[in-house]
Structure 1
Amino acid sequence: MNLLIPDLGYFVWGFVAFVVVFLVLKKFAWKPIIKSLNDREQNIADAIASAEKVKAEMAQLQSENENLLAQAREERAQLLKEARETKDKIINEAKEQAKQEAGKIIADAQQAINAQKMAALTDVKNEVGKMVIEVSEKVLKQQLAGQAKQEEYINSLVQSIKLN
């Protein structure tokens, strides 16, 4: 049981040793320990503030990136729309130009056909006229084979001209 209850001398010497160690620690170790704890606390607070600041900057950058991305998508949509409109315009202009060219070609072809038709009709008329003259000449030569018949025919023509 002596081990559980110390003597008064041991108690006093233990208390004196505790007070001496406490005073030495208070004089030499307590201030540096408190200072290092305060420094560490300040560093942790600064790190938390820095992290919050970085977090806020990241949120702002993310917001700006989203805005830029939205603008880029909008510009892309606008460019695609303009490209489609330009494509449609070019196609429509090409169709109109093709229609005009086709109409022009058809009109030119019809004019050429009409010109060739008129030339052919003129040629046919000329040929028919030549043939009529040749036939008439042959017929008249046979009918007016004699001098008397020729004079008689000429007189009848002169009289018909005078009457008209």
Structure 2
Amino acid sequence: MSLITPEFGLLFWQTLIFLLLLLLLAKFAWKPILGSLKEREDSIDNALKMAQQAKEEMQNLKAGNEKLLADARKERDQMLKEGQAMAAQFVEQAKTTASAEAGRITQQAREAIQQEKNAALAEVKNTAAQLSVDIAERLLRRELADPTAQQKLVDEYLKDVKLN
């Protein structure tokens, strides 16, 4: 049983060595260990604070990006509206110009038709007059082929003409 129950001397020396070791550890090891733990805790706190700041900055940047994106969309929509308005104005102007040009061409065509009509009427009148002269000439030649008929015609004209 002597192996299981320790003696007083052994307990004394074990307790003394334990206390001495405890004092040595307290003087030399615990302060550096606690200091390094404190330093580690501070660095972890700083890292957490920096992570929180980075998170806030990212949220601010994200909000700024979303605002810029919204502004860009707004500007794009405005530019599209202006482009559509300009296109509509250009189309309207082209329609007006085309309508005016069509009116001018129509008026020129009417004037040309009227001139052609007048020229055709003048030509018909000239042709009718020429035909009348030709018919009259042929008739006169046939009737005046005889000298007695010529004398008779001259006499008739002289009766119709009165001298003043």
Unaligned runs of 5+ in 2: none
User: What SS does the aligned partner of 2:6 have?
Assistant: coil
Aligned to 1:146: 150
Once residues 143 and 4 of structure 2 are traced to their aligned partners in structure 1, the CA distance between those partners, rounded to angstroms, is: 183
Aligned to 2:100: 100
Deviation at 1:123, TM superposition (A): 0.5
Matching of residues 74-153 of structure 1 within 5 Å: 74-141=74-141, 145-153=149-157
Unaligned runs of 5+ in 1: none
Aligned to 1:20: 20
Q: TM-score, normalised by structure 2?
A: 0.85
RMSD over aligned Cα, in angstroms?
A: 2.3
Deviation at 1:141, TM superposition (A): 4.9
Cα deviations by residue, 1:126-153 (Å, 9 ceiling, x for unpaired): 1111222232344445556423522431
Distance change >3 Å, CA 5–CA 151, structure 1 → 2: farther
Once residues 103 and 3 of structure 2 are traced to their aligned partners in structure 1, the CA distance between those partners, rounded to angstroms, is: 129
Cα deviations by residue, 1:93-114 (Å, 9 ceiling, x for unpaired): 2222222222222211111111
Deviation at 1:39, TM superposition (A): 0.5
Q: TM-score, normalised by structure 1?
A: 0.85
Once residues 132 and 21 of structure 1 are traced to their aligned partners in structure 2, the CA distance between those partners, rounded to angstroms, is: 158
Deviates more, 1:69-78 or 1:143-152: 143-152
Identical pairs, percent: 40
How many pairs were matched up?
160
Deviation at 1:3, TM superposition (A): 5.8
2:119 partner amino acid: A
Aligned to 1:64: 64
1:129 partner amino acid: A
